[in-house]
Every structure is written in C-alpha cells, then in structure tokens.
Amino acid sequence: MAKSGYLSGKKIVPRRIPKGIRVTDLIDHFFQAYNAARLREAAQLFAQKMLSPDVTVGMSLTGALTPAGLGGSCVVPLIRAGFVDWIVSTGANLYHDAHFAIGHSLHVGSPFVDDRLLRKEGVIRIYDILFDYKVLLSTDSFFRKLISFEEFQKEMGTAEFHYRVGKYLAAREKALGIENSSVLATAYKYGVPVYTSSPGDSSIGMNVAAMALDGYGLKFDVSKDVNETAAIVLDAKRKGGRSGVLIFGGGSPKNFMLQTEPQIQEVLGIREKGHDFFVQITDARPDTGGLSGATPSEAVSWGKVDPSKLPDTVVCYLDSTVAMPIITSYALAKRKTRELKRLYDRLPDLLSCLKIEHDKAGMK
C-alpha cells in the first residue's frame, strides 16, 4: 500500500525517561507532541537558526518575569553569550530588575495568603512572590536620585535612558559584590539597547512624572525609539543578514518589536519583506483579540513577517516562566557564544542610514 506523505514524520516512541537526563536530550527526544513539541521546535529554531552569526536577535519581555528571577537567570546569560542583540520590555520588568542590583530581596511565597494581612504588614505580592513595601520606596528613591543628575536633564529615547541607568546599576552591583543580577546593568556592559514601548506605564515612568512636577527636565522621545528600532532591523537586512524575534508574552512590547517592519515598509516607504524568524511564547488566544500582534501568519498580512519564512516561525502556548529557562538552557548548551553586535554603540549611524533610505524612497 502506498504510504501517505503525511506519515513521513519521526515516529513517536514511548520510551522511558532515563535518570539524570540532560535538558537538551529531554527536549530533543521526549517533547514529542502538543505544546511540548512546539517548545522543542522553538528551542531548536532559536539555537539552530536564529543564533547564526548573521541574525540580529530581538527579545520582547512582557509579564512579571524579573521579579521571578528570570532576568538574572535567563536574560543576563543570553546577553552575555551574544544571543540577544536588542530588547523591548515593559517598564515594570526593568523597575523590578533594579531591586536585585541595589541589594534588595524578593521571597518565595504563596498566592493564597490574605492580602488584607499583607497590606497591614507592609508586604507586596506578585502572585506567589512576596517582598517588603520598603523595597518599592527604596527603588523609587534610587530612580529619583538618578533622574536629578545633570546627564538626565534632557529629552532622550528609552534606550539612552536605560543605558545611563544601567551604568549606575552596574556600579551598585560592583560596590555590593553582586554578580550579574541585573538586565540593565548587563545590557549596559554589552552594548544591548533596551527599549520600553510604554514608558509612562511603570513605576519608573511614575517617578519620571513626579520629577517633572518638581521641575526636572527628563522627557522620553518615543519617536526616537520607533525610528531606532526600525533602523536596527533595516541594518540587519541591508548588510546581508537576517532578523529574528524571540517573544515572551504579548502586549505592547511584542507589537513594538514587530511594528519595525511596517514602519520600514508602509510608513517610510523602504523596500523590505519582514522578519525572518519568529518565536513566541504566549498563553493568550488570537480569537478573543488578546494575542497582541496575533499569529505569524496573520503578521504576514501586515508585512511583519516575510511570507517566504513562515516555516521558520513557532508559537508555543505556554507560560513564559516555564519556557524561558528551558530555551535558555538549551541554547547555552547547543551553541557557542556569538560575537557581540553592540548595537547601542552604533545607533547614530543606523539612524543615519535609515534616513538616507527614507529620503531615497520619497515618502514625504
């Protein structure tokens, strides 16, 4: 009998998982179906293709990931290995990232405690993470002190703001003997630009607003952020390379990262095709309108993803706090470190190239 081509996939084998198995072997040989298989595909796509030297990798972060320690355990090692070249994050992740760098602690707790009692005792809860209310006050004070410095008395993009903050967080880590806990401190050291798509939507933005009431001059230039991120993607393509996105969650950071291609094509009138690689970890659904930026195939209709590259896209419907450590561990085991692109150092040149191409396109 003729065998259907649909049956050409690897056979599912119900083998026993051996003791002491490596994460890479567990993923490659035992994640065989459903979202386990999607997670395997995501890890393999990231490690085998997206981490090629010619790919510029952007990462977006949504949800309370840094309070759970995932900044230091996952994002920092990926930056240090050269596996992440630029980042878009919620401001909340970057605010909570600072707690660790300035010497504060967060604690494992329970999601089932009485929040009225926590309020009385000055304890903050992020699901099952607990910490002292004074951590917020101290972190607020740290940011307000920085915002009062002369170097912050101007309008700047969020990448520049985070770079300058990262310098001070790195110094604080060094003074306290803390090793590589902060995403912003590590991004500063490794030249990775970090953006916030909604800079007013976090405690950092709240403190900037408070300082504005007191007459300080820091303002965020969101248009610069839009153009810089588009320039990063265009530069990757124009130098014969490719662009990949690694998306944890959805929301504004996801869309901000993906809108770089419509900004290039639709708004600036520059000939382009879309991102080459797309990996997303999400627990949202597209049919309710909650999956921001939607699926890779829908993103093709917007020009966000190159239609010829749909086979190099994976959506895994899974909790980011489960997937991120697994993907990080897999990539670090499978790939050697990459040469740093240090995109932050090159941003002025990238913007100039973007403007030249926009002028040539005549879209004014």
Catalytic residues: 304
Please, are residues 141 and 204 in contact by the beta-carbon 8 Å criterion?
no
Strand partners, 129: 108, 126
Task: Give the amino acid at 314.
Answer: V
**Residue 69, exposed/middle/buried by CB under 10 A (0-12, 13-18, 19+)?**
middle
CA–CA gap between residue 208 and residue 36 (Å, rounded): 42
Packed helices 158-176 and 91-101: angle between N→C axes, nearest 10 degrees? 20
Nearest to 257 by CA among 49, 54, 44, 56: 56
Strand partners, 55: 242
Nearest to 195 by CA among 153, 218, 228: 228
Q: Which two tokens stand for residue 58?
A: 């952007």
**Residue 145, exposed/middle/buried by CB under 10 A (0-12, 13-18, 19+)?**
exposed
CA–CA gap between residue 342 and residue 114 (Å, rounded): 46
Residue 95 has, within 13 A of its CA and on its CB side, a CA count of: 26
- Rg (the chain; Cα; Å): 21
**Residue 317 CB: number of other CB atoms within 10 A?**
16
Please, are residues 318 and 283 in contact by the beta-carbon 8 Å criterion?
yes
